[in-house]
Amino acid sequence: MNIFSTSGFRNVWVLSISGALAGSVIPLMILAGSLAGTYLAPSAAWATAPIALMITGTAAGVIPVTQCMRIMGRKNGLLLFMVIAILTCGLSFIALQLNSFTLFCISALALGSCNAAILQTRFAAMESVDVQYSSTAASMVMASGIIAAFVGPELAVLGRQLTPVDYQGSFLLAAVCIFIAALLLSSLYKPTTMATQTVSKSQTTTADLMRNPVFCLALASGAIAYVIMSFVMTGTPISMHHFHGHSLMDTKWVIQSHIAAMFLPSFIAPLLFRYLNIRGMMLLGLACYCATIAIGFSDTTVNGFWLQLVLLGIGWNFLFVAGTALLPTTHSENDRFKAQAVNDFTVFSFQAVAALSAGWAINLITWQQMLLGCLLPIGLMTGILLWERATTNKFKSSTTI
């Protein structure tokens, strides 16, 4: 079984396309949810609450989602949460009809938990191919994210005036998109032996996993990728438009370029993995983050923001894909669902904290000080890389004596 075999190659493509279609509801919610929140919220201070709750829902939903997939299998688990996502779009429709901010926030939280399931498509793709092709499979699924990044906002705009209530139609279109994704998954995805077998409950504790330096490296790579990316990206629109006086069009262009930069490198990531290996990709991602800080510290023009946000997206891609590719090598087959749950819960919890703290930080300190603060997680990641390398080399030396 390899990525070019009939079943493996087909599964990766099906998971990539269905994941992108279903995942388009998240950028749709980011755009439509924030705009609808401005007139649903009791005050302007609460307008971004649905987005914050969606991110929180992703973190909170990781463990239930992985446990569900451990019992039901990847395919049935994904289909279940796609159905829940369709129903949640209906709940958003009703919330807008009733002008209920509370109900809209509940639907955002539920969509976040569904997003936790959709993000598991990268693990399902990796399980469809041989280990040596797992990084390629993960890269293909990540690359499909660019489809979701552009389809979601387009659906939000197209559906805005489909009904008398703004953005109700957006969630109807999102439900149709998720339904198509579910049809593709149910009819074309053929689970492999690894993906269909139900794994007995792991006896390995979280502490046992954390004692493995390679697991810590994989987890840190994903978490730090998201911490820095979310912290800088969330603060960019405020910094650009409100503090540095750049236009909304320029700000939108910078954010769109950043989203493209997050996913486009996945098309060449398999080639880079071949020549740089996983740890080399992590170092390259950290180098992109350092360049982001240097450019952002010295250049606050539109072109300066554009370049730093593009490098930010590229750095995120290299670190997150590298961490995802390394994770399956850090545990036994019986521990895969537990390891994935611990990894994703940690990663998306840190993302939620970073996104929520960015708005607070940008109002207390300068943009340059925010960027300099990102040197702390970069230094931490560098230290974990050195510790993992030293520990692994020491273990290899002791086993050869």
Residue among 377, 366, 367, 265 at smallest CA distance from 322: 265
Q: What pLDDT sits at residue 363?
A: 75
Q: What pLDDT sits at residue 6?
A: 53
Inter-residue contact 144 to 20 (CB < 8 Å): yes
3-class SS of residue 304? helix
12: CB partners within 8 A, 6+ apart: 3, 125, 128, 129, 137, 140, 141
Q: What is the pLDDT of residues 265-293, one digit of tens each?
A: 888 877 888 888 889 999 999 999 999 99
What's the predicted TM-score (pTM) here? 0.77
Q: What pLDDT sits at residue 161?
A: 86
Instruction: Please give the chain's pLDDT, 401 residues, in tens.
Output: 455 555 578 888 999 999 999 999 988 887 777 778 777 888 766 766 787 788 889 888 988 999 899 899 999 999 999 999 999 999 999 999 999 999 999 999 999 999 999 988 988 888 888 877 777 888 788 888 888 878 888 888 888 889 999 889 999 999 999 999 999 999 988 877 655 555 555 567 878 888 899 999 999 999 999 999 988 987 887 788 778 888 878 887 887 788 888 888 888 877 888 888 889 999 999 999 999 999 999 898 999 999 999 999 999 999 998 998 899 888 887 888 888 888 888 998 888 888 778 767 877 888 899 999 999 999 999 999 999 988 876 655 454 44
- Compute the distance between CA of residue 324 and CA of residue 278 in angstroms, rounded to an integer: 10
200: alpha, beta or left, given left = phi > 0 and alpha = psi -120 to 50? beta
- Compute the distance between CA of residue 8 and CA of residue 137 in angstroms, rounded to an integer: 9
Q: What pLDDT sits at residue 199?
A: 54
Write down all domains in the chain, each with its CATH number in brackets: 1-199 (1.20.1250.20), 208-401 (1.20.1250.20)
From the number of C-beta atoms within 10 Å of its C-beta (0-12, 13-18, 19+), residue 360 rates as exposed
